[in-house]
Structure 1
């Protein structure tokens, strides 16, 4: 009787050990496959991040902040941020009553005002304007003078037409 109990205990212990072995083996395979899929995802994310960084660098190519030659024109003026200064001066033209004087169109829904500005270099900038419903783009030549005055000259303009 005692020997049968030991035999049953031995068989039970062997079954538990077999179960533990198979379970651990399956868990190890699962962790390995999860780790491989995470490595693939990390690799994809690194590629995506690198592509995003390249796009960002490409978008910043035509930018006063990243153009040392153009910024050299303003070294003698002791401006900390020439881009912001020029943008502020251009936005001041919005403060006049009615349409912005640089925009050669009359607002249809309200007054045309400049919204967004992109300083390309030390001579040119791009601007977006809108009256709330209609919008367009401007190419503006500017000159930042030694007395910190800024002269703006409209080079070209475009008003988008709405198609209904």
Structure 2
């Protein structure tokens, strides 16, 4: 009797070990499969990041904040560029607050609306592009700017256009 019990225990132990082996092998293969999927996803993500970084670098080429020559121009004149850039944008946006027609935008608006500058991008130490709108009409400006000896900011309209209504 004792021998049969040991034999049943031995067979049960072997079946239990075999079940655990098969189950752990299946879990291990499933984890390896998931890991391969994650590795492929990581590779695709790294490639996408590299493409986006190159695109960002290309798009930021005409940008005062990345233009070392323009930054050096202002630094040689004694300006702090991190304070100067927001100040130039703020001065341009302040022109939106005046009464009557906008002093820089050469187009009038209809129905009591007012043309206002929406977005400003400083290209370098001399040029700005901006877009404007009155809610119905919109367009873009190409401006030049300079800081005078009296530390005053002076904007000059170089080019502008108004998009036609469809």
- Quote the Cα distance in structure 2 between the aligned partners of 1:160 and 1:32: 57
- Quote the Cα distance in structure 1 between the aligned partners of 2:92 and 2:118: 10
Once the two structures are overlaid, the 10-residue window that deviates more, 86-95 or 120-129, is 86-95
SS of the aligned residue for 1:102 comes to coil
Is 1:139 matched up with 2:160? Answer: no
- Quote the Cα distance in structure 1 between the aligned partners of 2:125 and 2:144: 9
Is 1:113 matched up with 2:116? Answer: yes
- Quote the Cα distance in structure 2 between the aligned partners of 1:79 and 1:148: 13
Shift of 1:121: 0.9
Shift of 1:14: 1.1
CA contact (8 A) 1:100 1:112 kept: yes
The equivalent of 1:98 in structure 2 is 100
SS of the aligned residue for 2:69 comes to helix
- Normalization by structure 2: what TM-score? 0.89
- Quote the Cα distance in structure 1 between the aligned partners of 2:20 and 2:68: 67
Shift of 1:38: 1.0
> How many residues get paired?
163
CA contact (8 A) 1:70 1:121 kept: yes
Once the two structures are overlaid, the 10-residue window that deviates more, 142-151 or 112-121, is 142-151
- Normalization by structure 1: what TM-score? 0.90
CA contact (8 A) 1:77 1:146 kept: no
The equivalent of 1:128 in structure 2 is 131
Residues 20-64 of structure 1, C-alpha deviations (whole Å, 9 max, x = no match): 000010111111111111111111111112222212211211011
Shift of 1:151: 1.7
- Runs of at least 5 residues in structure 2 that lack an aligned partner in the other structure: none
> 4+ residue runs of structure 1 moved beyond 4 angstroms?
none
The equivalent of 1:28 in structure 2 is 28
The equivalent of 1:78 in structure 2 is 79
